[in-house]
Structure formats: structure tokens, C-alpha cells
Amino acid sequence: MRIKPGWVVLALVTLYALVVTVASNQNRRQLAALREEMRGLEARLVQGPEGFAFPLPGACLPKDQDNWPGAPRAYRKGQNPGFVFVNGESCVPVVYGMGVVAAGSGEVIKAETAYKENTPAEFAALLEAVANGASPAQMDRLRGREVWLRHADGLVTVYAHLSEVAPGVRVGAKVKKGDLIGKVGNSGTLAAARKSRAGARLLFELWDGEPDKDKFFGQDMRREALPAQAKVRFGLE
């Protein structure tokens, strides 16, 4: 749950009243604890929420909004659920094997180290099967090798189409913003099914809750409103 500034102010007023009451009772230990809690709330009010970093160092938002959340797709339930970073669109070269970093500090809740690539026939059958909607398991097949991170505010970030997961990145592990979590690949795509390294990309999704069950960033949002909201998410404004 996100902390709203109004809630923080209300909490500070309440705590101040408690401090005055405790002070009148000369309970020094309780007074010190309350003052410490007040300082913590004040710090959170001043600092605000942590913005996400780009999962590719030096990258920018994709230039083509067809690579943004909410862009129409003939699969993935009719919409793209994330940002697709591809070469020539993202302010940095996006090449097979380049490092992918955590956009924010959090806990690993999925690390797909045993992903088995589709064959061309399996990939064609998968696309046909998801034409009218995809199950979570089918979405995982489309994303390829992936890592999911849950952050302190309940948001979940997804890093998909990886060529490999970084050593030590496993379920339950804690990572910091900027830590290496994997490498760019094309797993889950037709090129990968054909055993080619063409079409390297990173699909980065931001979910307010459980991926494929709750709401992804950009879902049902007007496309003209997306750039400003995305800049806020990445701390660009």
C-alpha cells in the first residue's frame, strides 16, 4: 500500500499529541521511541517514493509507442503488458547478452532458470492457442526466461526474454536497485525457436500486484497520458 502525504501528516499530528501526553507523564523511554517514529515518518514524507531505474543502464523510454504498455497485440490477451527495449529504440544498443539490472530494490519471487525453448511448431501452436486470451502458464511461455521482483510497496517488476539469469538470483534472494539480474536475449520468440539470436529484446513489465492477475502499468490508460506517467515512474520529472 502506498503512503499518501495526507496520511503522513495525520500520523505526525497524532504522534505529536502522544508525545505531549507521554512527556507529561515523564516516561522517557516511550518518549524517545515516539520521537524516533516521528523522524522516520518525516523522512518518508520528504523523500517520497523511490523512482524506478531503467533495467538497461543508460536506456531511455522506447521511442515507438508500439513498444509501450497497452499497445495492441494479436496475442497476450490483446495488449502488450510492458515496455519492450529493442535496438535502435532505446538510446543504447540492445544486444544479445548485455546486462539487465534491477529497476528497484526487492525480493526475487520468480527466476526461470530451467526454461525450455519452444520448437517452431510449438511456437506456432502457442500463438494459435492464445489468439483469444492466454493463461498465466501460456504467458510464461511467451515471455521466455524471466525474473520477477516484488518491491516494498507491493509493485512487481518482470524482466522477460532473457538469455540467462544471473548467478545467485533465485526465489527469496534480495537484490538492490542496479544489481545485475540477467542478460538480454530473445527467449520465447520465433527467432529463439529457430535457434537464432536475432531480435534481442527486453520486455519490462510493472504490475500493481500479481502479474497476469492484477493490473499492469498503462492498462486502460489513454495513450497520450502514458509518457507523463512513465516519466514519473522512472523519476524523470
Is 164 part of any domain?
Answer: yes
Which sign does the torsion angle of CA 166, 170, 174, 177 carry? positive
Is 152 part of any domain?
Answer: yes
Each residue's pLDDT tens digit, 37-57: 444 433 333 333 457 999 999
Output the DSSP codes for 22-49.
HHHTT-HHHHHHHHHHHHHHHHHHHH-S
Q: Cβ(35)–Cβ(16) under 8 Å?
A: no
Distance (Å, whole) CA 134 – CA 76: 6
Is 53 part of any domain?
Answer: no
In this structure, the number of other CB atoms found within 10 A of the CB of residue 9 comes to: 12
Distance (Å, whole) CA 209 – CA 155: 6
Same domain for 24 and 139, yes or no, is no
Same domain for 161 and 110, yes or no, is yes
Q: Cβ(220)–Cβ(77) under 8 Å?
A: no
Same domain for 134 and 18, yes or no, is no
pLDDT at position 35 is 53
Same domain for 27 and 138, yes or no, is no
Residue written as grid cell 518491491:
151
In this structure, the number of other CB atoms found within 10 A of the CB of residue 173 comes to: 16
For residue 146, give the CATH number of its domain. Answer: 2.70.70.10
pLDDT at position 28 is 60
Same domain for 76 and 156, yes or no, is yes
Distance (Å, whole) CA 107 – CA 224: 33
pLDDT at position 233 is 82
pLDDT at position 192 is 97
Which parts of the chain register pLDDT below 50?
1-25, 34, 36-49
Q: Cβ(73)–Cβ(79) under 8 Å?
A: yes
Same domain for 17 and 113, yes or no, is no
Same domain for 209 and 172, yes or no, is yes
Residue 94, all three cell numbers: 540492445
Statement: the pTM of the whole predicted model exceeds 0.85? no
pLDDT at position 24 is 43
**DSSP letter, residue 79:** B
Is 59 part of any domain?
Answer: no
Same domain for 156 and 208, yes or no, is yes
Number of domains in the chain: 2
Residue 80, all three cell numbers: 502488450
Domain that holds residue 115: 65-233
**DSSP letter, residue 2:** P
Helix (H) or strand (E) holding 121, with range, is: helix 120-129
Residue written as grid cell 520465433:
190
Is 55 part of any domain?
Answer: no
Distance (Å, whole) CA 200 – CA 210: 26
The residue type at 93: P
Same domain for 26 and 94, yes or no, is no
Q: Which residues pair with 84 in a beta bridge?
A: 203
Cα of first residue to Cα of last residue in the chain, in angstroms, is: 22
Same domain for 37 and 69, yes or no, is no
Is 57 part of any domain?
Answer: no
pLDDT at position 165 is 98
pLDDT at position 81 is 82
pLDDT at position 74 is 65
